[in-house]
Amino acid sequence: MGGLTTAEIARAHLVPEATMAQRISRAKQKVKGVGFGRPANWEERLPAVLHVLYLIFNEGYTATSGPSLQRAELAGEAIRLTRRAHRLLPDSHEVTGLLALMLLTDARRAARTGPHGELVPLDEQDRTLWDKAAIEEGVALVTRALTRRRPGPYQLRAAIAAVHDEAASPDDTDWRQILGLYDLLVRFVPGPVERLNRAVAVAMVHGPRAGLAELDPLEAELSAGHRLDAVRAHLLERAGDTAAARAAYRAAAGKTLSLPEQHYLQARAARLGPAP
């Protein structure tokens, strides 16, 4: 499969490349010598293995750079390896949760791009193109995992994905349930990506201004990447602040190395009219 560079992984996690290099070095030490058997200390090493699989899947599902939105070979390999881990550790709730998350997310892959490879946002996707079999399998996996014990981060992420996938239309999405799940998730993982995603849920439940207020504490951590500006632009547009939304879309477009994301953000800015 295609390799991931440290820079790509760093962009996916919205951290400096040097910081990610240190994390990767520590993770390599934890997984050194681990095969897909059960070493004596497999429980200690498992979180690092799952984190690597999660990184591979995310880069495959939304490439952080290049001409294509997705790198299907990476996402497919991550799912294959996670299935293998699940067969070996069927009682591991976080392995089950990660596999469910990957299936529920990858189920939307066919609808995420248009005929020319352009990005199609979730609320505009043709849901008839979603992989119903993958959704059913993912829902069954996360349901089984959630009923057994206190949920972990991958189970909660999978539950959020399941709420999205089970909605017949964007208007049917249970955003209050999603916000409740994010409230739990940020207790486990109070990282900038999780808090940024929670801000979107806050906006969907309590209005765009409430969501915008959630973005201010994230400025220092996320200012270098494009995602904060992209979310801010979306919420400003929903709030009716056209000029600020246009500027934020353009700022986001200037920061992403993904051409499909860049074109999408530029198109959103252009749709709001020319700058005065």
- 53 domain residue, yes or no: no
Cβ contacts of 257 within 8 Å, gap of 6 or more: 11, 64, 65, 66
pLDDT for residue 137 is more than 70: yes
- Structural domain range at position 221: 174-276
CATH of the domain at 214: 1.25.40.10
Give start and end residues of each alpha helix (H) in 62-131: 72-88, 93-106
- 140 domain residue, yes or no: no
| Range 224-244 average pLDDT | 96
- 118 domain residue, yes or no: no
78, 53 in Cβ contact below 8 A? yes
pLDDT for residue 45 is more than 90: no
- 233 domain residue, yes or no: yes
| Range 170-175 average pLDDT | 97
Dihedral of CA 80/8/107/72: which sign? negative
Distance CA 100, CA 105 (A): 8
- Predicted confidence at residue 30, as pLDDT, reads 52
- 71 domain residue, yes or no: no
- 260 domain residue, yes or no: yes
- Predicted confidence at residue 209, as pLDDT, reads 98
- 132 domain residue, yes or no: no
pTM of the model: 0.86
One-letter amino acid at 154 equals: Y
Beta-ladder partners of 113:
119
219, 193 in Cβ contact below 8 A? no
| Range 137-151 average pLDDT | 89
User: What's the pLDDT tens digit per position in 97-119?
Assistant: 999 999 999 999 999 999 999 99
97, 154 in Cβ contact below 8 A? yes
pLDDT for residue 69 is more than 90: no
- 65 domain residue, yes or no: no
Tell me how many domains the chain contains.
Answer: 1
- Predicted confidence at residue 2, as pLDDT, reads 44
